[in-house]
Chains A and B, each alone.
Chain A
Amino acid sequence: MNSGSSIKRGRQAILATLWKQRVSYLFIAPFMVCFTVFIVVPIVLANGLAFFSFDAISRPTFLGWDNFLAILTQDRIFLQNAIPNTFKFAIIVGPLGYALSFLLAWLIHQLPKRIRDLFTIAIYTPSLSAGVAMSVVWLVIFNGDRIGYLNNFLLSAGIVREPQLWLQDPQYFMNIMIIVSLWASMGVGFLAMLAGLQTVNTELYEAGAIDGISNRLQEIYYITIPSIKPQMLFGAIMSVVGTLKAGSIGALLAGSPITPQYSGHLITNHIEDYAFIRYELGYSSALSVVLLLLVYGTSRLSFRLFAAKGDE
């Protein structure tokens, strides 16, 4: 009886603290509600639906692990196109785009302050304009007849003998997607790193020079990178998410959700294919779960790489 009343009292104490802190909960409520409704619930639903067969009209039927089994064993387009394409795309655009972002941010930082802004704008602008606004540019540049700018240039330079069908030929399609994405990859992560560089204490460089750091590469390795690790982690996560969720670029270039012979078919396209064209919502959800795990795993890996050491 005694312990019962103390539990009761403990519960009352918790309720009392919660009541005292009600203003805080009021502050986070709008965000947490949107967060729950549009992020948490869809993720939970996706995990649930992944075990069902559902076509949006008839009742869902429970399948167990069948959807995942099908993904791993029967889905030829997924295994032969979506997976290799996504890996090729992500490995090139992700790390390379990220390295480029860092390199460019670092180079810009080496310049006098006044001209930095100009270069920042020039490098960042493409990421602002990516997507729909620019699709007309790519369509005209990579046009398949001799009026296309690239064909025209290559023809007059004598590099090719006849116009190439850049956007219809599976051989080129992926590479064009990669180039266009790289062009637009200097986004939020690039800004974060550039800004991070400006926070590095300059005394560190002087101290480093005294300790025997003799060139800029050593400086980057021993001083710059350790100092801006947190910003680099933020940039890395933005880059992982941005790369793995990419998919619309292929559709924009091809003008249809399915790229020529699946040459630019990424996991996201596969999800949309099953969701909005074939209406196999259960299967599509299972694919979503696979992609979510992939994004989460890769982000965790970046945490490992960039996490600040305990004593820093």
Chain B
Amino acid sequence: MELRKLDPFQAFTMLGLTVLALFMLLPIVFIINHAFKPISELFLYPPRFWSNQPTLFNFQQLILKSQTTVIPFSRYLFNSVLTTVLTVAGTIFVSSMAAYAFAKQRFIGRELFFSFTIIALMFAPETVAIPRYLVIANLGIMDTYLVHVLPLLAAPVGVFLMKQFMDQIPNELIEAAKIDGAKEFVVFFRIALPICMPAVATIGILAFQGSWSQTETSALFTFTESMKTLPYYTLTLTNGLANNVVGQGVAAAAGLIMFVPNLVVFLLFQRRVLNTMAHSGIK
């Protein structure tokens, strides 16, 4: 229906983008196929892209394999889910509170603190790994669930996006609520947050992505195996894979388990994310 109305330029663009999109998705299709391949197909020469007889063998192996070791697979999964949920909830709470104050309240130091946040957009934690390590070691949160969560709560991008979005809430709305006797916290939870659900979804997703697939915390800040997360476990599976064909299938299965939630979450909230990103401009 709508496709017929395309002008030649659009049709050409569409064709080009389709080819590109398929190309971009190749590795994704590949990992899905690889995860469901039986061993006989993993060894096949010449290698085949599509799996002929898909099986859950690799997933079973993934679960069985870790049952023979000290820590079962489910423990890594549990750790990942727990820390990610805490991080997402924490980031939303911390970022939107700060953003609300930056956007809608007048106080001494507002501009200064917000300009720090803008500068911090340029900061990547990876650059100061050592001092971070020293700080975290001295806080005494090493090897606890807190270490998976707290460092990720310092998310300038989240505060920035949220603030830009909250700027659009009409001041009259907030004033009206205050005249009716609402306290700041009530205004924040009852009025500001519900209006900003798209931004909440967006920083939630960003926090999810940041937490769900990171290996750094598990590698540097925890030493007991039972405190480590799924991505770290996946990393140990992929090390030395070159000569281990059976391991490839299992690693692909683990990779898929990590990737799918990421995709699902984004698909669910895509519109909201774009809605928020429209206000991401730095002026």
Contacts and interface: CB of A to CB of B under 8 A. Distances in A.
Interface of A: 14, 17-18, 21, 23-25, 27-28, 30-32, 34-35, 37-39, 41-46, 49, 104, 107-108, 110-112, 114-115, 117-126, 128-129, 131-141, 143-144, 146-149, 152, 156, 167, 183, 188, 191-192, 194-196, 198-199, 216, 228-231, 233-234, 237-238, 240-242, 244-245, 247-248, 252, 255, 268, 271-272, 275-276, 281, 284-285, 288, 291-292, 295-296, 299, 303, 308
Contact of A32 (B98, B108, B121, B128): B98
A291 B255 contact: no
B107 A136 contact: no
B204 interface: no
Contact of A135 (B28, B94, B122, B255): B255
Contacts of B184: 23, 27
Contacts of B255: 132-137
B106 to A, nearest CB: 8
Given A23-B185, A115-B14, A230-B282, 7 more contacts: A37-B135, A42-B131, A129-B263, A137-B27, A195-B275, A295-B123, A295-B127
Contact of A136 (B119, B252, B270, B277): B252
Given A43-B131, A133-B213, A237 B126 contact: no
B275 to A, nearest CB: 7
A132 B235 contact: yes
14 contacts: A30-B97, A34-B154, A35-B120, A35-B154, A131-B213, A137-B34, A147-B45, A195-B276, A195-B277, A238-B121, A241-B121, A285-B131, A288-B130, A295-B123
B19 to A, nearest CB: 11
Contacts of A228: 281
B211 interface: no
B25 interface: yes
B280 A27 contact: no
Interface in B24-50: 24-25, 27-28, 30-31, 34, 45-47, 49
Nearest to B240: A255
Contacts of A34: 94, 150-151, 153-154
A31 B97 contact: yes
A117 to B, nearest CB: 6
B70 interface: no
Contacts of A31: 94-95, 97-98, 153-154, 159
A292 B127 contact: yes
Closest 5 CB pairs of A and B: A230-B281, A245-B124, A122-B21, A45-B131, A195-B277
Kindly state the interface size class of chain B when it binds its partner: 35 or more
Given A122-B25, A131-B213, A299-B122, A137 B30 contact: yes
Interface string B208-246: 010001010000100000000001001100111110000
Contact of B135 (A38, A131, A137, A247): A38
Given A35-B154, A268-B127, A132 B24 contact: no
B167 to A, nearest CB: 12
A84 B116 CA distance: 31
A230 B283 contact: yes
A237 B282 contact: yes
Interface of B: 2-3, 5-6, 9-10, 13-14, 16-17, 20-22, 24-25, 27-28, 30-31, 34, 45-47, 49, 93-95, 97-98, 100-102, 105-108, 110, 113, 116-117, 119-135, 139, 150-151, 153-154, 156-157, 159, 184-185, 188, 206, 209, 213, 215, 220, 231, 234-235, 238-242, 248, 251-252, 255-256, 258-259, 262-263, 266-267, 270-271, 273-278, 280-283
Contact of A139 (B126, B241, B274): B241
Contacts of B128: 42-43, 45-46, 285, 288, 292
Greatest chain A CB density within 10 A among B5, B113, B256, B259 is at B259
A128 B262 contact: yes
A93 B119 CA distance: 22
Given A112-B5, A134-B255, A37 B159 contact: no
A231 B123 contact: no
B262 A129 contact: yes
Greatest chain B CB density within 10 A among A39, A118, A245, A295 is at A39
A114 B213 contact: no
Nearest to B18: A119
A295 B125 CA distance: 12
A41 B252 CA distance: 39
B44 to A, nearest CB: 9
A108 B213 CA distance: 28
Given A129-B262, A285-B131, A192 B277 contact: yes
B47 A122 contact: no
A199 B282 contact: no
A132 B21 contact: no
Greatest chain B CB density within 10 A among A35, A139, A244, A276 is at A35
